[in-house]
Amino acid sequence: MTQTLTVPTSLEWHEDYLLILNQQKLPNIVEYIKLTSIEEYYDAIITLKVRGAPAIGLTAAYGLAQSACQYEVKTLEEFIDLFQREKKYLAASRPTAVNLVWALNRLEKVLEKVSSVNEAKTNLLHAAIQLHAEDEAVCRLIGENGLSVLKDKQIVMTICNAGSIATSKYGTALAPFHLGREKGKAFQVYACETRPVLQGARLTAWELQQSGVDVTLITDSMAAHTMKEKGVEAVIVGADRISANGDTANKIGTSMLSILCKHFNIPFYVAAPSSTFDLSSLDGNDIPIEERNREEITTIDGTVIAPENVHVYNPAFDVTPHELITGIITEKGILYPRFEESIQQNIGIKQ
């Protein structure tokens, strides 16, 4: 039986502002906030009000385009100079998700073909809107392709939130679950809570509930036990950056799941759009790993849970080595080892 989809979305462009779902406040408060200035866009990204690699890229693209529309300059040269400075500013907000720089580069390309300030403003905004529409189509294809590999699997584990609210719609790793609902396929999803900032508990559990998907929350340290006791049949995760050899950066804790999958002989899939591939990074050693502030670990919801002055190490991402990945589900199809070759053939040189 097919169902009507109720997938939550997180980004909505209005004529002169971007409305975002404030992911910091979920699941207790469902609040949409307006972004209008470049500083507000930067703040929304760095404080995780908006997060997830594709959603970060789209937000930055809208931010740069919107800000550029407000430049009061006379010459195209001055316009481009200001654009470059703001592009650099936004690009520095989060270092690991390559979709951020990818989206900003797509905007920059627009400027190669304009001959006036007004034309630049119009075309930049169109480019951001087009990126948004493209991402939705891409995520839907990832969902379809994901369903084709998960068709005989029912019990699936995931980590972090690579869902609709991390993209324009549907998500990457969560897309097969949303589309599965639409097509009458019922998954049983185990969501790892994802310490330290609980994207699994606060966001994935909420998003899948909204969409009517059967979701069970576990803490990250329950993953091995759950795989064994509940008969997990596949793990599917998102990605922030994939190197030319298939090494994949994703939320901290992902590589731990890949190692467990090897032990239990469970297939481990990465789901990502081609905008997440960075062919200039040859392997995972080339991927910059964001380190975030100590309070994410020493406090929970403002309450201190660790001794004052304890040393803290807070990497936000880890790298799953390509040899632990069964397949990478993209909008262009499913890539299998040898990844160096399948990535080169299917993703090739990025636009």
Rule CB under 6 A: which residues touch ligand MRU?
51-54, 97, 160, 162, 166-167, 171-172, 199, 238-240, 250-251, 316
Considering the complex, what minimum distance in angstroms separates the CB of residue 176 from ligand MRU?
A: 13
Contact 270, 328 (CB under 8 A): yes
Q: How many CB atoms lie within 10 A of CB 213?
A: 22
Which residue, 123 or 167, has its beta carbon nearer to ligand MRU?
167
- What SS3 state is found at 313? coil
Which residue, 18 or 237, has its beta carbon nearer to ligand MRU?
237
Phi first, then psi, for residue 313 (nearest 5°) are -125, 120
Considering the complex, what minimum distance in angstroms separates the CB of residue 318 from ligand MRU?
A: 10
- Supply the DSSP string of 6-32, one letter for each residue: -----EEEETTEEEEE-TTTTTT---E
Upstream peptide bond of 337 is cis (omega within 30 degrees of 0): no
Q: How many CB atoms lie within 10 A of CB 227?
A: 21
Options 16, 220, 240, 286, the catalytic residue? 240
> What does the buried/exposed string (b/e) look like for 173-209 if buried means 16 or more CB atoms within 10 Å of the residue's CB?
bbbbbbbbbbeeeebbbbbbbbbbbbbbbbbbbbbbe
Considering the complex, what minimum distance in angstroms separates the CB of residue 48 from ligand MRU?
A: 6
Round to whole Å and give the CA distance between 332 and 342. 11
299 pairs with which residues across the strands? Answer: 304
Which residue, 12 or 341, has its beta carbon nearer to ligand MRU?
12
* Nearest-5° Cα angle at 24, 312 to 237: 75
Considering the complex, what minimum distance in angstroms separates the CB of residue 203 from ligand MRU?
A: 8
Which residue, 254 or 326, has its beta carbon nearer to ligand MRU?
254
Q: Where are the alpha helices (DSSP H) in the chain?
A: 38-46, 53-69, 76-91, 99-110, 117-150, 175-182, 205-211, 223-230, 254-264, 295-298, 339-346
Considering the complex, what minimum distance in angstroms separates the CB of residue 76 from ligand MRU?
A: 35
Name the residue with the smallest CB distance to ligand MRU. Answer: 238
Which residue, 160 or 189, has its beta carbon nearer to ligand MRU?
160
Round to whole Å and give the CA distance between 7 and 39. 29
Burial degree of 343 (CB within 10 A; 0-12, 13-18, 19+)? buried
Which residue, 83 or 269, has its beta carbon nearer to ligand MRU?
269
Type of residue numbered 197: V
20 pairs with which residues across the strands? Answer: 11, 33
Considering the complex, what minimum distance in angstroms separates the CB of residue 268 from ligand MRU?
A: 14
Which residue, 180 or 273, has its beta carbon nearer to ligand MRU?
273
Considering the complex, what minimum distance in angstroms separates the CB of residue 277 from ligand MRU?
A: 13
Contact 261, 234 (CB under 8 A): no
- What SS3 state is found at 302? coil
Task: Let me know if 240 is a catalytic residue.
Answer: yes
Round to whole Å and give the CA distance between 38 and 266. 44
Residues identified as active-site: 240
